[in-house]
């Protein structure tokens, strides 16, 4: 009875077969059929191989939300070389609340303003990357993927053993309130003042003014090697002793999550202008380098994403099944 029941069940299952097989006696192998089969298998192998590279690739997903972090401090990372002696200039920050931030985190290092051939090559490469970033916006995703935590890579060094060091390299970092502010480098060291602050500029001769400068690095938030900021590599040379350089910066808080790093940093956009100071011609102002920054209320979340394994397998089955159905194999 059990055997009869099994046979009936097997017969019933065979009758439900939606894909009946053609008996081998009715199948004839031909050269054209073999060629089609060879092309089909080759095409499946090629497409599966390419699909594997798509599976390995990652992409960046951008999301936007309101920045609710108002109490934390904003870190400013600075590396600027000014064509004046260190004793003649001072750098500090004055924010919108008229709070002056001392430049204790900045170091003043006497250097030569001229670059060595190796440094000039490094600088020209950085400028070329900046030009390409303005055209190829997708390169920013690649830069995000290569970001790492840790100390920045060493830059080419030059011999500054000469006794006549006419420039000053200002580098380090500052922590400021998370409000709009003005980071500036101007003549004279800064001193506290009841209405803000002042610089002892009267003790410096106008003939020594020269605010030609080179920005090797300027970023906000956690400093991540591999991230190139918009002002990195900027070089301005002025023929006038009295000159004002202004940079208007809009900072966007950014949370970066990749497979290599997870950090809270900041991106920024910048516009700039400069002019000579000539009071007789009506061009008033204070000589120096002024970076006025404001912070956007929106935060950008940048997340590196990867195709899940199940999706890769489904796409692979679709390739194989589609070619089989098309060729009639």
Model confidence pLDDT, tens digit, residues 32-45 = 667 877 888 888 88
pLDDT band at 24 (very low <50, low <70, confident <90, very high): low
pLDDT band at 19 (very low <50, low <70, confident <90, very high): low
pLDDT band at 17 (very low <50, low <70, confident <90, very high): low
Residue 148 token pair:
């790492």
Which of 74-88, 121-135, 295-309 has the lowest average pLDDT? 121-135
pLDDT band at 304 (very low <50, low <70, confident <90, very high): confident
pLDDT band at 28 (very low <50, low <70, confident <90, very high): low
Average pLDDT over residues 299-313: 89
Q: Is the pLDDT of residue 248 over 90?
A: yes
Q: Is the pLDDT of residue 329 over 60?
A: no
Instruction: Give pLDDT, residue 16.
Output: 64
Strand pairing report for 243-257 and 298-306: parallel
pLDDT band at 78 (very low <50, low <70, confident <90, very high): very high
Average pLDDT over residues 216-241: 87
Percent of the chain with pLDDT over 90: 19
- Are the C-beta atoms of residues 298 and 64 closer than 8 Å to each other? yes
Instruction: State how far the Cα of 328 lies from the Cα of 37, in Å rounded to an integer.
Output: 9
Instruction: Give pLDDT, residue 26.
Output: 56
Instruction: Give pLDDT, residue 129.
Output: 84
What DSSP assignment string belongs to 70-121? Answer: -SSEEEEEEEEEESS-GGGEEEEEEETT--EE--TTEEEEEE-SSPPHHHHH
Closest CA to 200 of 83, 75, 90, 300: 90
Q: Is the pLDDT of residue 92 over 80?
A: yes
pLDDT tens digits along 178-199: 888 899 888 877 766 666 666 7
The verdict on pTM exceeding 0.85 is no
Instruction: State how far the Cα of 32 lies from the Cα of 6, in Å rounded to an integer.
Output: 43
pLDDT band at 154 (very low <50, low <70, confident <90, very high): low
Q: Determine which helix (DSSP H) or strand (DSSP E) holds 135, and give its type and residue range.
A: helix 117-135
Average pLDDT over all residues of the chain: 81
> 149 vs 109, which has greater pLDDT?
109
pLDDT band at 268 (very low <50, low <70, confident <90, very high): very high
Closest CA to 111 of 214, 247, 225: 214
Instruction: Give pLDDT, residue 15.
Output: 66
Instruction: Give pLDDT, residue 161.
Output: 54
> 96 vs 21, which has greater pLDDT?
96
- Highest averaged pLDDT of the listed ranges 22-31, 275-284, 287-296: 287-296
Instruction: Give pLDDT, residue 87.
Output: 86
- Are the C-beta atoms of residues 190 and 85 closer than 8 Å to each other? no
pLDDT band at 29 (very low <50, low <70, confident <90, very high): low
Q: What is the maximal distance between C-alpha atoms in the chain?
A: 118
């Amino acid at each position: 009875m059990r055997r009869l029941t099994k046979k009936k069940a097997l017969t019933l299952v065979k009758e439900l077969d939606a894909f009946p097989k053609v008996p081998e006696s009715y199948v004839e192998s031909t050269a054209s059929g073999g060629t089609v089969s060879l092309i089909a298998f080759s095409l499946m192998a090629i497409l599966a191989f390419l699909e594997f590279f798509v599976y390995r690739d990652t992409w960046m997903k951008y999301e936007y939300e309101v920045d609710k972090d108002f109490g934390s401090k904003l870190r400013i990372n600075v590396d600027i070389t000014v064509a004046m002696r260190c004793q003649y200039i001072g750098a500090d920050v004055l924010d919108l609340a008229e709070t002056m931030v001392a430049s204790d985190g900045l170091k003043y290092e006497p250097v030569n303003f001229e670059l060595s051939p190796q440094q000039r090559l490094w600088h020209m490469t950085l400028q070329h990357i900046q030009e390409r970033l303005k055209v190829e916006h997708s390169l920013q995703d690649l830069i995000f993927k290569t970001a790492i935590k840790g100390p920045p890579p060493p830059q080419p060094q030059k011999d500054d053993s000469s006794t006549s060091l006419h420039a000053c390299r200002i580098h380090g970092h500052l922590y400021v309130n998370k409000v709009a502010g003005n980071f500036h480098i101007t003549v004279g060291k800064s001193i506290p003042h009841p209405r803000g602050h002042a610089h002892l500029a009267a003790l410096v001769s106008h003939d020594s003014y020269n605010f030609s400068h080179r920005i090797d690095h300027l970023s906000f938030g956690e400093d991540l090697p591999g991230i190139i900021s918009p002002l990195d590599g900027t070089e301005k040379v002025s023929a006038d002793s009295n000159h004002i350089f202004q940079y208007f910066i809009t900072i966007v808080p950014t949370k970066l999550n990749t497979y290599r790093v997870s950090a809270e940093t900041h991106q920024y956009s910048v516009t700039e202008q400069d002019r000579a100071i000539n009071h007789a011609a009506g061009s008033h102002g204070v000589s120096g380098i002024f970076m006025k920054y404001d912070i956007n209320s929106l935060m950008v979340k940048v997340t590196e994403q990867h195709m899940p394994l199940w999706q890769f397998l489904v796409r692979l089955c679709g390739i194989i099944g589609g070619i089989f159905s098309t060729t009639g194999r």
